[in-house]
Amino acid sequence: MLILFIAYLGGVLTILSPCILPVLPFVFARADRPFGSHGLPMLLGMALAFAAVATLAAVGGGWIVTLNEYGRLGAIALLALFGLGLLFPSVAERLGRPLVALGVRMSEPRGSDGAAPASGFSPLLLGVGTGLLWAPCAGPILGLILTGAALNGASVGTSLLLLAYAAGACTSLAAALLFGGRLLSVMKRSLHTGEWVRRAAGAAVLVGVGAIALGLDTGLLARLSVGTTSALEQALVDRIKPGKPQPEPVALREDAGLVRVSDDRTAPPPARELRVEGRFPSLAGATEWINSAPLAPEALRGKVVLVDFWTYSCINCLRTLPYLRAWAEKYKDAGLVVIGVHSPEFAFEKQPANVRKAVKDLGIGFPVALDNDFAIWRGFDNQAWPAFYFIDAEGRIRHHQFGENRYDKAEQVIQQLLAEAGQTRIAAGLVAPLGQGTQAAPGAEPALSGETYLGHERAHGFASPGGIARDRAKAYQPAASALRTNQWSLAGDWTVEAERAVLNGANGRIAYRFQARDLHLVLGPAANRKPVRFRVLVDGKPPLADHGSDTDAQGYGVIDAQKLYQLVRQAEGSRERLFEIEFLDAGAQAYAFTFG
């Protein structure tokens, strides 16, 4: 709610910007006419034009990111142009001259006899022209909103902020229209100061652009841009649809309502009766589809549907994929449709290009819906990754289960629903796929180490002296004494942000004392996508036979994408070990440990 108020206030303060001067003649030209028939239509037209321009800017920026890997450079170029417009108002003025001329003609419309026409369409058109002139130079808060959308895709949250901004601007211009002369005299005294504030904002934007383009900063824009923070974005969405669980995962604990889960319980006997749990919710909230055109529940009537909620850096989700692929292939001719709903945990998992690459690398051939706004998640009232929902041929949810394992129960439900749908040729038996690497089944012994986040928002078990310095660079030292089980530490120059720790220089290290067969770490390369080399040690030595699928026997590996990396897989047992990783290059991004 606070960020909405800030956006609204930014719109109100637009009237103090020097670029408002060409707009004011159009506004005051209607000051002597009835507000309802002239002023209000003009403000409506202005808001419509502004909304159109702003939405195209936001969505267009999102398209740039989606189209190719150079989209970030394109978005940075747009931000640089915005900064120049703030620093040099004459740039925006030159671009707007044709619109100013059009507005002058429209502000004094005349009929053939020299009288003003009675139609109310003229003030509406005047408002459209005013909005087109005003949108390109509206102010730094608007630039921040559009930049976030350009770099990370338009969203419901961004649209709400644009709406709040437009409402604020219309409020200030409505006041100008109603109180004309008195407000203008006040504004004239403030414009000189406002011009210097505007120029300072433009210079700051250009400095930021330079730092980002050179890869000197890895998190500032993400923290400033309201379009990038998934927690904020989801909070805005939840304001629209209250009463649903907040889709931000929490650390694994017994009372958690929203977690990545694994399930080691013995599978129960086959179900004799599957009750109706609800109707198949809409899939319209998907922001994109992979491997399929958009699907709808109505079009899937007559099919048995398995909906899988997952995210590609979740180890529990990855280990379900061999079964999902096997079921999709085995029962496709009998009428089964498997749909993956990708609901992201980290900001990088919201980028369509990253998800498309992961889907390809993981060998997923069934349809995948990108649920970046958690609309489908809320429709199912889901609470965990991974989660399976089984829907019968009549569009009714008949069963659901959270977590790994119990695959035999899941396949028996599929067979039962296909039989209910009238299928007589259903392949017998149960699949038994063997996953490889991160998709391999967990160890026989339960992991005694749980998921551990390295970002300060959900970090626990941190043991370096002095604790975590939030969102600022700090030279960390190893723990003063030996780490206890499930404690971790940093060494080197790091910046710990809300959801990740970013290494500012080469040779930074992370240590963790764990007890599990497998150790995984969600990692990303440097901000400029330059790969980062690393080396892993287990109990101070190369892992040899205990190396993971993303390291060699000597512990060496390379971070070349934002994803989950398997760094340790113990060949025998799951005894307690000391894990250490040293990053040989700067820029490494570390998000979370997971175990298995």
Q: Please say if the pLDDT value at position 271 is more than 80.
A: no
Q: How confident is the model at residue 252 (pLDDT cuts 50, 70, 90)?
A: very low
Model confidence over 104-114: pLDDT tens digits? 554 454 444 44
**In which region does residue 507 sit, left (phi positive, over 0), alpha (psi from -120 to 50) or beta (all else)?**
left
CA distances from residue 28 to 47, 285, 399 in whole angstroms, order as listed = 17, 43, 64
Contact between residue 262 and residue 518 where contact means Cβ atoms under 8 Å apart: no
Residue, of 596 and 162, whose pLDDT is higher? 596
Rounded to an integer, the average pLDDT of 187-211 is 60
Q: What dihedral angle (degrees, nearest 10) is formed by the CA atoms of 566, 572, 578, 583? A: -30
Taking CA atoms, 341 is separated from 369, 374, 385, in Å, by: 5, 10, 10
**Kind and range of the H or E element at 389?**
strand 387-391
* Mean pLDDT estimate for the chain: 76
The helix or strand, by DSSP H or E, that contains position 49, with its residue range, turns out to be helix 40-67
Structure tokens at 322: 């061999």
Name the more confident of 275 and 239: 275
Residue with tokens 């019968």: 392
The per-residue pLDDT for range 55-76, each reduced to its tens digit, is: 555 555 444 434 434 444 555 5
Packed helices 121-134 and 89-107: angle between N→C axes, nearest 10 degrees = 170
Closest CA to 388 of 280, 306, 268: 306
pLDDT exceeds cutoff 60 at 341: yes
Of 218-222, 298-302, 565-569, the least confident: 218-222
d(CA 513, CA 540): 12
454-507: pLDDT as tens digits: 999 999 999 999 999 999 999 999 998 999 999 999 999 999 999 999 999 999
Judge contact between 53 and 132, C-beta under 8 A.
Answer: yes
Q: Can you give the three-state secondary structure of 504-567, one letter per residue?
A: CCCCEEEEEEEECCEEEEEEECCCCCCCEEEEEEECCECCHHHECCCCCCCCEEEECCCEEEEE
Classified as helix, coil or strand, 496 is strand
CA distance 153 to 66: 8
At residue 88, φ and ψ (nearest 5 deg) are -125, 90
Distance CA 411, CA 415 (A): 6
Q: Which two tokens stand for residue 179?
A: 């109180």
Structure tokens at 440: 């391999």
The answer to whether 253 touches 379, Cβ cutoff 8 Å, is no
Task: Please answer whether residues 438 and 363 qualify as being in contact, where contact means their C-beta atoms are separated by less than 8 angstroms.
Answer: no
Tell me the per-residue pLDDT of 140-197, one tens digit each, with 9 for 90 and over: 555 555 555 544 444 556 666 667 777 777 777 777 666 655 555 555 555 555 566 5
Concatenated DSSP letters of 584-595 = SSTT-EEEEEEE
**Could you tell me which residues are beta bridge partners of residue 495?**
473, 502
Q: Report the C-alpha gap between 533 and 507 in whole angstroms.
A: 10
Instruction: Please give the pLDDT value at position 326.
Output: 96
Element (H, E) at 492: strand 488-496
Q: How much is the pLDDT for 100?
A: 52
pLDDT at 229 over 60: no
Q: Residue written as tokens 């290494």?
A: 503
Rounded to 10 degrees, the C-alpha dihedral 321/327/330/334 comes to: -150
- pLDDT recorded at residue 407: 95
Q: How many CB atoms lie within 10 A of CB 558?
A: 15
Beta bridge partners of 576: 515
Q: Is 278 helix (H, G, I), strand (E, B) or coil?
A: strand
Tell me the DSSP string of 416-444: HHHHHTT------S-------GGGSPPPS
Question: Which one is predicted more confidently, 73 or 332?
Answer: 332
429 pLDDT band, cuts 50/70/90, is very high
The C-alpha atoms of residue 432 and residue 434 are separated, in whole angstroms, by 7
In this model, does residue 276 exceed pLDDT 80? yes
Whole-angstrom CA distances from 367 to 325, 370, 432 are 11, 10, 22
Nearest Cα neighbor of 408 from 225, 248, 266, 586 is: 266
Grade residue 212 by pLDDT with cuts at 50, 70 and 90: low
Asked if residue 386 has a cis previous peptide bond (ω within 30° of 0), the answer is yes
H or E segment at 369?
A: strand 368-370
pLDDT one-digit tens code per residue, 502-522: 999 999 999 999 999 999 999
Q: What pLDDT, on a 0 to 100 scale, did the predictor assign at position 216?
A: 47
Average pLDDT over residues 34-53: 64
Residue 36 confidence (pLDDT): 61
For residue 256, pLDDT over 50 is answered with no
